Amino acid sequence: GENVEQHPSTLSVQEGDSAVIKCTYSDSASNYFPWYKQELGKGPQLIIDIRSNVGEKKDQRIAVTLNKTAKHFSLHITETQPEDSAVYFCAARNNNNDMRFGAGTRLTVKP
Amino acid sequence: SQTIHQWPATLVQPVGSPLSLECTVEGTSNPNLYWYRQAAGRGLQLLFYSVGIGQISSEVPQNLSASRPQDRQFILSSKKLLLSDSGFYLCAWSSPPSAVFGPGTRLTVL
Give the nearest chain A residue to B34 (CA atoms): A99
Q: Looking at CA atoms only, how far is residue A4 from chain B in angstroms?
A: 12
Residues in chain B closer than 8 A to A104 (CB atoms): 42-44
Give A48's pLDDT tier (boundaries 50, 70, 90).
very high
Least confident residue range of A22-26, B14-18, B43-47: B43-47
Assess B103–A contact: CB distance below 8 Å, yes or no: yes
Q: What is the mean pLDDT of chain B?
A: 89
The pairing of strands B3-7 and B19-26 is: antiparallel
In the predicted model, is pLDDT for residue B10 greater than 70?
A: yes
Contacts of B61 (CB under 8 A, 6+ apart): none
Q: Looking at CA atoms only, how far is residue A86 from chain B in angstroms?
A: 11
Give the pLDDT score at B17: 97
Helix, strand, coil percent values for chain A (each to nearest 5): 5, 55, 40
Least confident residue range of A49-53, A64-68, B78-82, B94-98: B94-98
Give the nearest chain B residue to A47 (CA atoms): B98
Give the pLDDT score at A98: 74
Residues of chain B with pLDDT > 90, as a percent, come to 66
Q: Within the 4-43 window of chain B, which residues sit less than 8 Å (CB to CB) from chain A?
A: 32, 34, 36, 41-43
Summarised one tens digit per residue, pLDDT across range A20-44 is 999 999 999 899 999 999 998 888 9
Give the nearest chain B residue to A34 (CA atoms): B98
In the predicted model, is pLDDT for residue B97 greater than 80?
A: no
Give the pLDDT score at B96: 61
Q: Which residue has the higher pLDDT, B38 or B8?
A: B8
Give B41's pLDDT tier (boundaries 50, 70, 90).
low
Cα dihedral A32, B94, B11, B46 in deg (nearest 10): -60
Assess B89–A contact: CB distance below 8 Å, yes or no: no
Question: Residues B15, B110: contact at Cβ < 8 Å?
Answer: yes
